Chain A
């Protein structure tokens, strides 16, 4: 609500009124300050046309003061320029910024913005003459014009002309910083998810941009720093908008994602060199990147990716504000649009966390359920009854291996990753149980598996279970094979088991397959691959082959 209100008030804030022209002359003569001086021979210029000269210049403007709305309020003058200045009102010096000089050595740079109170005795209704003497030898690299502003009016209003926007922006600033802290905390403590790192970086970059934007009204600086600040604004605009694209790419991954982010960064870096004046440089690159990010989230929402719709609302909303009133973007609406965007992103992350927590509980339950489900439990108990009556010693061995299996299992289901060593122990105890239950010798040949590598719990176990339930397995012994190959920073696991090969295999193994894929996603996001299918004729007939590639950790 507060955010919406701030957004509306900042949108409805009035733009500065158009400025009256001035008479200008280069050089210096103290008489030019006097209201009596006849300046009618001087050229009449708009402030935007004041040329860059190699001397000090005089600007003169005659104004008409009406009766004051509120006699208590003093009259004020606002002067902003990339120049040092002296300000004369009816021939009296009412303020100076820096030291005006006729050479670079004489001049001392003044502040970029100043406001002065006109003494009441000089502010009677009627005609007044404002004369400004200025010099601008310290602009550094020379822009087309020197950003000249000269305004008179109610002093209280004049004095707060810039700070009003700045304080609004500061409200947004604290929210942005808080989001940054939260995002980094989430990254370090909870999830190590790259998108949190990017969100934190995006917030920091936006916060820095806000400081660069608000520096002038809040703290002021001498005018020779103006171009430096404007360059910083463009650079931070580039960083902020490219980080937004990168964040969306990380949040909603696509095969071509990294390439698109790289391309967007390059294009966004070229855009500021096209317009000559400063504001459009940032504006166009924001338009480009926010448009791209909106398209990206629209794609994610269309594909029904988790959190896609909320991200689209956030990014799309911010982009809509940008395009609706582009010229208020940089110093007014940007930061509220970003706050809105971050709120949407955090909500979408929160939903994601909730979904993952539910998914984790579901996965944990699923392994346990598989051992409580009738097919496993009742067949095991039936076989056990038979061993008890016929071969009590075998029955005891079977109870032991079953207990072993359940013990290992209960120790690992709550975890996201377990060591291959633990996983293989689980597999061996399951094979022992199943061998006794079905009176078939099930064997697992393990090759090249590094016992310290981490894998999702019950991953190989599920493959073995599928192989036993659906496999041929009618002979006196059944051999399965698990091989691992390290490929750079990834490990490829290959599991092979004899299959009955009478069709419809994949569909029937669906339950186990979905479990494994959900576990892989839980542990590694999208950084894994899973492939399975029937392979031609091996020595044992048809082979069911599963290949899983995961990061080597």
Chain B
């Protein structure tokens, strides 16, 4: 596992690194960015699996940085002295928000959430990258998400599609309860589904506008039950 720590307080960063090694394993590769420019480079390189981000670097608001991180494929855990920023941070789909000071147990929980081993706070928005810019998408506008090799395609009610760097499994962990896996490669927004149609050995989920996605054999019973059919 490759871990990055963005933190301008060196003793705090040292504590974080020490505990991450204790929890994840001594062979964990840990990079440290003590300043904003270094943090930007680190996030743009994307050669990590998990980011620990302090939202207050050199007295600056770190939400621009968080937006970049939220659009990336790795998971982000916020470590901050400002617990009042937690609600806002969760809107970016972060795996967890750890207030300072923390205990080892609290950090272990955060890492488990980032790895998908523990349930986490669901997000109401997804951040996607558009060139160097980022764009926030309200999850209610989503019809379904289709998984590709190591990225996902977001299909919106207005017919537009957006690429997201996170895997289908990672998005499944952060999308709200209205979303369900309906196929090995599809997560559907059941609150926008209208009907289940069968024919020719295939079962399809039909959305409000007529768009359809396939329902995998093992998911059929659960989907029908959740839709009350």
A interacts with B: yes
With A374-B83, A375-B81, A377-B81 given, is the CB distance from A383 to B37 under 8 Å?
no
Chain A min CB distance to B4 (Å)? 17
Q: B60 contacts which chain A residues (CB < 8 A)?
A: 508
Q: Bound state CA distance, A472 and B55, in angstroms?
A: 17
With A439-B14, A502-B36, A502-B37 given, is the CB distance from A379 to B58 under 8 Å?
no
| Interface: A443 (CB within 8 A) | no
| Interface: A251 (CB within 8 A) | no
> Contacting A387 at CB < 8 Å: which of B11, B18, B56?
B11
A439 touches B10 (CB 8 A): yes
| Interface: B201 (CB within 8 A) | no
Q: Which residue of B lies closest to A386 (CB)?
A: B15
Q: B37 contacts which chain A residues (CB < 8 A)?
A: 502
Q: Interface size on B (CB < 8 Å)?
A: 23
Q: Which residue of A lies closest to B83 (CB)?
A: A374
Q: Bound state CA distance, A390 and B99, in angstroms?
A: 21
Q: Mark A461-477, 1 if CB is under 8 A from B, else 0.
A: 00000000111001000
Chain A min CB distance to B128 (Å)? 28
Complex interface residues of chain A between 368 and 398 (CB less than 8 A to chain B)? 374-375, 377-379, 381-387, 389-390
In the complex, how many residue pairs between chain A and chain B have their CB atoms under 8 Å apart?
A: 66
| Interface: B59 (CB within 8 A) | yes
A382 touches B100 (CB 8 A): yes
B12 touches A379 (CB 8 A): yes
B81 touches A469 (CB 8 A): no
With A383-B9, A386-B15 given, is the CB distance from A474 to B34 under 8 Å?
yes
Q: A384 contacts which chain B residues (CB < 8 A)?
A: 101
B34 touches A383 (CB 8 A): no
B9 touches A508 (CB 8 A): no
B9 touches A474 (CB 8 A): no
| Interface: A437 (CB within 8 A) | yes
Q: Which residue of A lies closest to B56 (CB)?
A: A375
> Contacting B59 at CB < 8 Å: which of A436, A437, A440, A470?
A470
B58 touches A382 (CB 8 A): no
| Interface: B211 (CB within 8 A) | no
| Interface: B161 (CB within 8 A) | no
Q: Which of B11, B58, B60, B81 has the most CB atoms of chain A within a 10 A radius of its CB?
A: B11
Q: Bound state CA distance, A474 and B10, in angstroms?
A: 9
| Interface: B82 (CB within 8 A) | yes
B36 touches A385 (CB 8 A): no
Q: B102 contacts which chain A residues (CB < 8 A)?
A: 382
Q: Bound state CA distance, A98 and B99, in angstroms?
A: 99
Q: A416 contacts which chain B residues (CB < 8 A)?
A: none
Q: A306 contacts which chain B residues (CB < 8 A)?
A: none
Complex interface residues of chain B between 78 and 126 (CB less than 8 A to chain A)? 81-84, 99-102
Q: Which residue of B lies closest to A466 (CB)?
A: B59
A378 touches B101 (CB 8 A): yes
| Interface: A28 (CB within 8 A) | no
A469 touches B10 (CB 8 A): no
| Interface: B35 (CB within 8 A) | yes
Q: B83 contacts which chain A residues (CB < 8 A)?
A: 374
Q: Bound state CA distance, A145 and B216, in angstroms?
A: 122
Q: Mark B39-81, 1 if CB is under 8 A from A, else 0.
A: 0000000000000000010111000000000000000000001
> Contacting A385 at CB < 8 Å: which of B56, B99, B101?
B101
Q: Bound state CA distance, A341 and B150, in angstroms?
A: 80
Q: Bound state CA distance, A378 and B79, in angstroms?
A: 11
Complex interface residues of chain A between 388 and 436 (CB less than 8 A to chain B)? 389-390, 436
Q: Which of A387, A436, A471, A500 has the most CB atoms of chain B within a 10 A radius of its CB?
A: A500
Chain A min CB distance to B129 (Å)? 24
> Contacting A379 at CB < 8 Å: which of B18, B34, B81?
B81
| Interface: A164 (CB within 8 A) | no
Q: Which of B56, B82, B100 has the most CB atoms of chain A within a 10 A radius of its CB?
A: B100
A383 touches B11 (CB 8 A): yes
A438 touches B11 (CB 8 A): yes
Q: Bound state CA distance, A381 and B100, in angstroms?
A: 8
Q: A508 contacts which chain B residues (CB < 8 A)?
A: 59-60
Q: Which of A440, A470, A474 has the most CB atoms of chain B within a 10 A radius of its CB?
A: A474
Q: B11 contacts which chain A residues (CB < 8 A)?
A: 382-383, 386-387, 436-439
Q: Bound state CA distance, A120 and B139, in angstroms?
A: 111
Q: Mark A499-525, 1 if CB is under 8 A from B, else 0.
A: 010100000100000000000000000
B58 touches A386 (CB 8 A): no
A374 touches B82 (CB 8 A): yes
B10 touches A440 (CB 8 A): yes
Q: Bound state CA distance, A470 and B60, in angstroms?
A: 9
Chain B min CB distance to A501 (Å)? 11
> Contacting A378 at CB < 8 Å: which of B10, B14, B59, B81?
B81
A385 touches B59 (CB 8 A): no
Q: Bound state CA distance, A378 and B86, in angstroms?
A: 15
With A382-B100, A385-B15 given, is the CB distance from A375 to B82 under 8 Å?
yes
B81 touches A374 (CB 8 A): yes
Q: Bound state CA distance, A439 and B10, in angstroms?
A: 6
Q: Bound state CA distance, A374 and B80, in angstroms?
A: 9
Q: Which residue of B lies closest to A377 (CB)?
A: B81
Complex interface residues of chain A between 116 and 152 (CB less than 8 A to chain B)? none
With A469-B59, A470-B58 given, is the CB distance from A382 to B101 under 8 Å?
yes
Q: A470 contacts which chain B residues (CB < 8 A)?
A: 58-59
Chain B min CB distance to A392 (Å)? 14
Q: Bound state CA distance, A214 and B36, in angstroms?
A: 78
Interchain Cβ contacts under 8 Å between A and B, 10 examples: A374-B81, A375-B81, A382-B11, A382-B100, A385-B101, A386-B14, A387-B11, A438-B11, A470-B59, A508-B60
Q: Which 5 A-B pairs have the closest CB atoms?
A: A378-B81, A386-B15, A382-B101, A383-B11, A378-B100
Having A437-B9, A471-B58, A474-B34, one finds 5 other A-B pairs with CB under 8 Å, namely A375-B81, A378-B99, A382-B9, A382-B15, A439-B11
